[in-house]
Amino acid sequence: MLELNGYEVILASGSPRRKMFFEQLGIPFKIETFSVDESFPTGLEEVEIAKYIVTQKSLPFRKSVTSKKLIVTADTIVWCENQYLGKPKDLEQAKEMLAFLSGKSHKVITSVGFLTHKVFEILSETTIVHFKKLSSDEISHYINSQPPLDKAGAYGIQDWIGEIGITKIEGSYTNVVGLPLAQVKEHIKLLTQK
């Protein structure tokens, strides 16, 4: 278990998967979220997008962060063939995203922001995910049985579509789920020991 030296950790995410990961870390934490506009300036690419959004997510906390408070924000995006894929707005868009990812490799990029009263730091992790060619029946079955509207790129690696569709990953598995856990644990340790 991590020794937090009196720090209170706030997870600024409504993601059930990130909550589960924080529970696995074995550290006490609270969840606090604000609704944040996740649009970003045109011209940003790949990790720049995730970093921009994670910075935006930290802004509502900046005035209230006191000493011995650590706010953790996170954002995961999918980048494929120079295109950004966020969360689908409906099942039709989810179907289009999965058809686009089918038979290709893509990057899953998560940026994690760490805000204390002294610093704001971001760590970013990229994992390359390879999908087999998905049939339209497989895509339809997935989006109708496990609607992926809260997931970047319209899929969860831990879902059925990940089990049958992903042939290989290069990098952190937990990063694809939504949080590069080993790296986050080390960074929390680093910041709370200062």
Please report which confidence band the pLDDT of residue 32 belongs to, taking 50, 70 and 90 as the band edges: very high
Whether 43 shows a pLDDT value over 80: the answer reads yes
pTM, two decimal places: 0.94
Which one of 75, 90, 137, 159 is the catalytic residue?
A: 75
Q: Is 75 a catalytic residue?
A: yes
pLDDT tens track for 134-169: 999 999 999 999 989 999 999 999 999 999 999 999
Query: Into how many domains does the chain fold?
Result: 1
Within-domain flag for 3: no
Chain-centroid distance of CA 150 in Å reads 11
Range of the domain at 168: 8-193
Assigned domain for 2 exists: no
Model pLDDT, residue 26: 87
* Token pair belonging to 89: 């707005």
Q: Per-residue DSSP letters for 16-67?
A: HHHHHHHHHHT--EEE----------TT--THHHHHHHHHHHHGGGTTT--T
Q: What is the DSSP letter of 26?
A: T
Is 24 part of any domain?
yes
The H or E element spanning position 58 is: helix 47-58
Q: Find the CATH number of the domain harbouring 162.
A: 3.90.950.10
According to the model, what pLDDT value does residue 3 have? 81
Tell whether 105 is covered by a domain: yes
Check residue 194 and give its pLDDT: 72
